[in-house]
Structure 1
Amino acid sequence: MLALPGVILLIIFIYGRPQEWDERFENLPFLYLWLGLAFMGMGLDLALGKTRLRTTPQLRWAIFTYLWCVLTLGVRNPAEFSEGFVSISVTFVLFFLIAHSPEGFKGFQKLAGTVLVMGLFVAAVAVHQGFSSWQCLAMTQTIGGSRGEAGIPDGRSCELRVDCREGPGADPDTEYLCERVGLFKTSTINGRVRWRGVLQDPNELALTSGIVLPFSFALFEQKRSFTRALLVLASLLVIATAIILTQSRGGQLVFATVLGVYFVKKYGIRGAIFGAIFAAPLMLLGGRGGGEAEESANERTEILAEGLIIYRMFPLMGAGFRQFTEHHWLTAHNAYLLALSELGPLGMFAWSAMIYLTLKISLVALKRYEHGAQFAMIRAWSMAVMAGFCGMMVGIFFLSFTYHYVLWIYFGLAGALYCAIKSVDPHFSVKLEKRDVYRLILADLGLIGAIFLLSKRG
């Protein structure tokens, strides 16, 4: 499988963002280099007969969503077409490569293992950051030549922001923040831990780290060794601590959902009790409270109402890909609303069909291979993908994740799981049937109704 090295490096690049914390990597075209390496490897795999290109259940809906994004952007805002086209194209290609490059479970496990390692990596950096010292950050030019939120530590310790502005060594022409400074030139935002790039929002970091947890469970299910048991324990501690330090209420819900789905599905009532025991400390310690939390909730309620207004302005095609902020100063903070307001009902249906089929792959596999020791691996990974993705579905209700790389990476992982199962059982099949269409329409209408009711909460 010659495509896998390029795909694995691509995943590492998406999560790791080396060009943002090391100037030596700033001008290197890593994204296109790894994309090219992956495509070249896939071409060689196909030419040499090492792999066979299988159509995943989500592919046609991914193509429709991609083309619909391109069309709506071209119609609504041609001036931004070039930049938007590159963005959505990379997102689609990322899904395509992950879903279709591996052949069999060995390839799938390498991809899932890479996602697990990178999820634990960003969580571990966040934990270190959360216990590091407070320093003054000068909000000057950052890597890439633009003014950014990270800032540059100037070496002075602080307790309050005023210490940085008025203390010894302060530059009167520079804006300062007082934040915790961690590894890889990372820093907190208002005391909340975060990573860089697409994960510089603490809420997105909490979601991304929380949903990798069941992959460590799957590895333990495959081989119950002391080392893998330690991996499970370390994953629980690191991820839970990182989510607490993000102060993300959405992250709490993701963590609880992942544990709840995994243990309830696998162990029933006993699993529910076990999951509740693990989730309880995080639910008690994490999340913001007081006036800040209330202000955030009110702001999100206002955004929900604005998103519905934007949809009513463009009821057929939507406002266009990446055009929400052209009509409101903040993004939607809800992936489902963002899909409706930017892509309209057709685009939302296609995008939500990918979500539905991603979940259905695991559910069908768990039902089909419920019994038999020879299917233990299929059950372990199907359970892991389903639990992680259920956490994703909860988390993106509070985040603008419609086109986010992490969501489409998980679309790809579910597709790779489908292909892996197909290599073992050629009769395995998952389709969007007529009854699924009805269910999906009802689910979309239910989501829109829930968003409408929440928008009226204030």
Structure 2
Amino acid sequence: MFPLILLYLVLTIIRPQEYMAAFVGIPILPVVLIAAFLCWLASNAKTFAAPQFVILPIFLLVLMISVVVNGWFGGALDQFEKFGPIAIAFFVFAAACNTQQRVKIAMAVFVLCSVVLAIHGIQQARTGMGWTGVPISEDGRIQYIGIFNDPNDLGLLFATALPMSVYLSTLRGLMLRLFWLACAALLFYGTYLTNSRGALLAVLVVAGVYVWYRRGFITAGTLGVVGLACMKLLSSRMEDLDPDEESASGRVNAWYEGLHMFLSHPVFGVGAGNFTEYNDLTAHNSFVLVLAETGFVGYMLWLAFVGYSFWMMLTVLRHKPDDIDDPARAKAWQSEQRMALTLLLSLCGLFSAAFFLSRSYTVVMYLLAAMVVGYYVSARQRFPGLRLFKLASNGWLWFSASAGSIAGFFVLVAVLLRVST
């Protein structure tokens, strides 16, 4: 199961089946996923000891219902075909990441695949064309193939993989440390070449959260201001980071339209995939997209799915085991915390970028969440004192968090619209 789901990860990111003649037309990705799923069904490693295993199938059902209640009965099957494989990949990958060593291997594969895309981008920047046959974009931003054809998606991937590469550089001998640090440098350079404001801000957020954890809020805030100034010098598009700028104004207007879609369809939204039926631009915000398309029901489920992932990693960072006085256990716990911090930073990078992109249903997000869930479930086996999360115990919390965040979006959009006029 583990080798198969790693192969699925490689095929999902590098995607040779889309540009290598030997693979074109062969459904290699679904075949590998089905094989991994069959192994998962037969495996004793499968687990359901986390709320996300309950939330995700219900969210898939809500996606299907959202299009049905808006008059498209065939859309239920369409949503099942689109999101069903992502849900399956989550279940299999989470079950496969059932030891620290496997999580490290998954991180290494994730980083190496991302580095391949970064090298492809460097080739594009130098020659104008990558080995996939995809040229550099008209505005000089690197791009890849398939789901990473948008430079912003590339930047999101790089920002997610960057903390993993730095973490891996702390584990081995000198040569491997230099190798993983070189990978981190390539990922950062690749982020720069995407010229994605969301991705650059995500890298800044990752660095800020790390400094905050290690040195405190004041130091993080000070370095954050300096980092933002440096990024404005690095990226021409960062200089236009203003509500009055055309692209930023279009995003705010899209958020505004998305909130009004929610008001007109508050329970199940306007239907998954239907945002652009009501507005020329997509939502440019993963949270607003889910809210508009699936209503309060879908948004609460999705927010809970995301929120539990952050909560789990924060729980590891804040927990103090009872047997911490034992040197061996103390060393083991430090190892757990370093891994949890890395996964938390990757979550911060991904969702910082996703805040400015409509990527609520993309597979990368759910593969990272699977690593987080798989790691936490296995960490509870090693340290049983870690909290056991149960959806039934926290339903009220996610209802309140959903209502509060929706109100926050209305306030934010009102302020941004007032500033831009």
Q: Does 1:418 align with 2:418?
A: no
**Cα pair distance change 1:276/1:379, threshold 3 Å:** farther
Match of 2:49 in 1: 55
1:320 partner SS: coil
* Pair 1:307 & 2:258 matched: yes
Quote the residue 1:200 is aligned against: 149
Match of 2:66, as an amino acid?
T
Deviations 1:88-107 (A, max 9, x none): 11121122111122322222
Any idea what SS the aligned residue of 2:355 has?
Answer: helix
Residues 323-382 of structure 1, C-alpha deviation per residue, up to 9 Å, x if partnerless?
A: 112222321111011011001011111101111100011100011158621212211110
Report deviation, 1:38: 0.8
1:70 aligns with one of 64, 72, 79: 64
State the distance in 2 between where 1:88 and 1:207 align. Answer: 20
The change in CA–CA distance for 1:12 and 1:387 in structure 2 (over 3 A counts) is same
**Amino acid of the structure 2 residue aligned with 1:421:** A
**Out of 320, 328, 336, which is 1:378 matched to?**
336
Please give the alpha-carbon distance, in whole angstroms, between the structure 2 residues aligned to 1:60 and 1:222: 34
Question: How has the CA–CA distance of structure 1 residues 347 and 265 changed in structure 2, closer, same or farther, with 3 Å as cutoff?
Answer: same
State the partner residue of 2:168: 219
CA distance in 2, matches of 1:85, 1:239: 34
- Pick aligned residue for 1:350 from 290, 301, 320: 301
Is the 2:7–2:32 Cα contact (8 Å) retained in structure 1? Answer: yes
1:221–1:279 distance in 2 versus 1, CA, 3 Å: farther
Equivalent of 1:288, from 214, 218, 237?
A: 237
Secondary structure, aligned partner of 1:25: coil
**Separation of aligned partners in 1, 2:73 and 2:90:** 25
Q: Which moved more, 1:80-89 or 1:369-378?
A: 369-378
Measured against aligned partners, the alpha-carbon deviations of 1:370-417 in whole angstroms (never above 9, x if no partner) come to: 862121221111000101111222111110011111111111111111
Closer, same or farther in 2 for the Cα pair 1:319/1:426, shift >3 Å? same
Q: Distance in 2 between matches of 1:89 and 1:384?
A: 28
Distance, in Å, in 1 between the alignment partners of 2:137 and 2:207 is: 28
Contact kept in structure 1, 2:123 and 2:129, CA below 8 Å: no
One-letter code of the match for 1:40? L
Whether 1:298 and 2:293 are equivalent positions in the alignment is no
Q: Please show how residues 13-32 of structure 1 align to structure 2 within 5 Å.
A: 13-32=11-30
Question: CA–CA distance in 1 between the matches of 2:349 and 2:83?
Answer: 24
Larger Rg: 1
Compared with structure 1, are the counterparts of its residues 240 and 283 closer, same or farther at alpha carbon in structure 2 (3 Å cutoff)? farther
In the other structure, the counterpart of 1:124 is: 119
Question: Paired residue for 1:43?
Answer: 41
Q: Are 1:403 and 2:373 an aligned pair?
A: no
Tell me the CA shift for residue 430 of structure 1: 4.2
Conserved 8 A contact 2:232-2:239 = no
1:158 corresponds to: none
Residue 454 (1) aligns with residue 416 (2): yes
SS at match of 2:144: coil
Provide the C-alpha distance between the structure 1 equivalents of 2:417 and 2:236, rounded to a whole number of angstroms: 22
Q: Secondary structure at the match of 2:22?
A: helix
Shift of 1:291: 7.8
1:418-449 Cα offsets, whole Å, 9 max, x none, are 12212312342342554743345423432343
The structure 2 residue matched to 1:90, chosen from 64, 67, 85, is 85
Q: From the two aligned structures, give the one with the greater helix fraction.
A: 2
After TM superposition, the score normalised by the length of structure 2 is 0.88
Distance across 1 between alignment mates of 2:382 and 2:236: 44
SS in 2 for 1:185: coil
1:24 is paired with a residue of what secondary structure? coil
Match of 1:101 among 96, 101, 112: 96
Q: 2:270 aligned with 1:319, yes or no?
A: yes
Deviations 1:257-313 (A, max 9, x none): 111112331344677778888776544212426789822122222222222232222
How many aligned positions are there? 404
Change in CA separation of 1:441 and 1:302 when aligned onto 2, cut-off 3 Å = closer
Closer, same or farther in 2 for the Cα pair 1:330/1:79, shift >3 Å? Answer: farther
Counterpart in 1 of 2:105? Answer: 110
CA 274–325 in structure 1, closer or farther in 2 if over 3 Å, else same: closer
Deviations along 1:191-240, one digit per CA (max 9) or x if unpaired, are 111111111111111111111111122223334x3224313431332122
Query: What letter corresponds to residue 57 of structure 2 in structure 1?
Result: I
Which of 59, 75, 99 lines up with 1:80 in the alignment? 75
Q: Does 1:182 align with 2:180?
A: no
CA shift for structure 1 position 181: 1.0
Distance 1:312 1:127 in 2: 45
Q: Verify the 8 A CA contact 1:389 1:410 in the aligned structure 2.
A: yes
Change (3 A) 1:330 1:276: closer
- 3-state secondary structure, aligned to 1:68: helix
Given that 2:165 and 2:184 are in contact with CA atoms closer than 8 Å, whether structure 1 keeps it comes out as no
Report the Cα offset of residue 454 of structure 1.
3.1
Cα distance change on mapping 1:7 and 1:251 into 2, 3 Å: same
**In structure 2, distance between residues paired with 1:52 and 1:129:** 42
RMSD: 2.6
Q: Identity rate of aligned residues, in percent? A: 24
User: Contact between 1:247 and 1:286, CA under 8 Å: does it hold in 2?
Assistant: yes
| TM-score after normalising by structure 1 | 0.81
**C-alpha contact (below 8 Å) 1:323/1:342 kept by paired residues:** yes
